[in-house]
Amino acid sequence: MKTMKSQIQVVLVLLGVILCSTAFLSAQTTASATAPETGATPATATTTAPPQLQTRYPRYKIGSGDSFDVNFELSPEFNQTVTVQPDGFITLRGVGDINVAGQTVPELAQTLKTAYSKILNDPQIVIMLKDFEKPYFIADGQVGHPGKYDLRGDVTVTEAVAIAGGFTEAARHSQVLLFRRVSDEWMEAKIINVKKMLKDGNLHEDLHLHPGDMVVVPKNTMSKIARYIPSSSMGAFTQFGKF
């Protein structure tokens, strides 16, 4: 009997040691995982920020067909009016051809100043746009009047939908798409839940449009399948949906 009690005591002691060791190892693992490391950061700790649309109030960028005056404050003999060619180049008096497509007006002024610095001492240049593409946005999909609209002032996504005639009955308010071109080959896209935004009274996601933006309102699910269901059976379909 005493032998059996001794064996039981030994087993209990061993179990206690095992449990203590397990707890110690678990604590060490947790501490290692949570404590900051002074060495290289593990690859798993690196997070990739979600893509964001570009900032508000962008500067106009020069494009083909635009024309502008180039005025020299100290050397008026170089004053000229130039037009951007289809390939993005302009021809300047005294310096030749320069590619200016995609530049803002301040960037263009600096480009011309650098070019004329080869023949003039500290040229002072003023750029005045004459003929250029007016800012616009496009509204498409399930809006009252899809089309191209002038972008006048500060316009948000919901305001753009209103300008285009508002949502139609087939509109999917929860997945309005905003497309923004960032290069010749890429566009940014963002899904905006206008339905939830208006319901909550939170206009945080009511993004402001940039020139050239496109707002697309897709069809809702019911409008997509409605043409496949006879109108006489819609009542039965609706009643079925209540169960």
Instruction: Tell me the two tokens of residue 131.
Output: 């003929």
Q: CA-CA distance, 160 to 165, in Å (whole number)?
A: 9
Neighbours of 233 (CB within 10 A): 10
Instruction: Give the pLDDT of residue 187.
Output: 84
Instruction: Give the pLDDT of residue 131.
Output: 82
Query: In angstroms, how far apart are the furthest CA atoms of the chain?
Result: 119
Please, which residues have CB within 8 angstroms of residue 160's CB and are 6 or more apart in sequence? 137, 139, 149, 209, 213, 215
CATH number of 67-131: 3.30.1950.10
Nearest to 133 by CA among 54, 57, 211, 213: 211
Instruction: Give the pLDDT of residue 24.
Output: 45
> Per-residue confidence of the chain (243 residues) as pLDDT tens digits?
444 445 445 444 444 544 444 444 444 444 444 444 444 444 444 444 444 554 555 678 898 889 999 999 999 999 999 999 999 999 999 999 999 998 999 999 999 999 999 999 999 999 999 887 788 899 999 999 999 998 888 899 999 999 999 999 999 999 999 999 877 778 888 999 999 988 888 877 788 998 889 999 999 876 565 555 554 544 444 333 333
φ, ψ (nearest 5 deg) of residue 70 = -115, 110
Helix (H) or strand (E) holding 117: none
**Where in the chain are the domains?**
67-131, 136-225
Common-topology check for domains 67-131 and 136-225: no
Find the radius of gyration of the CA atoms of the chain: 33
Contact between residue 208 and residue 154 where contact means Cβ atoms under 8 Å apart: yes
Instruction: Give the pLDDT of residue 37.
Output: 45
Instruction: Give the pLDDT of residue 15.
Output: 46
- The third-level CATH classification (topology) of the domain covering 136-225 is Outer membrane lipoprotein wza fold like (3.10.560)
Instruction: Tell me the two tokens of residue 238.
Output: 């609706």
Distance of alpha carbon 22 from the chain centroid: 49
Instruction: Give the pLDDT of residue 168.
Output: 94
Q: CA-CA distance, 84 to 120, in Å (whole number)?
A: 23
In the block, residue with structure tokens 């951007």: 84
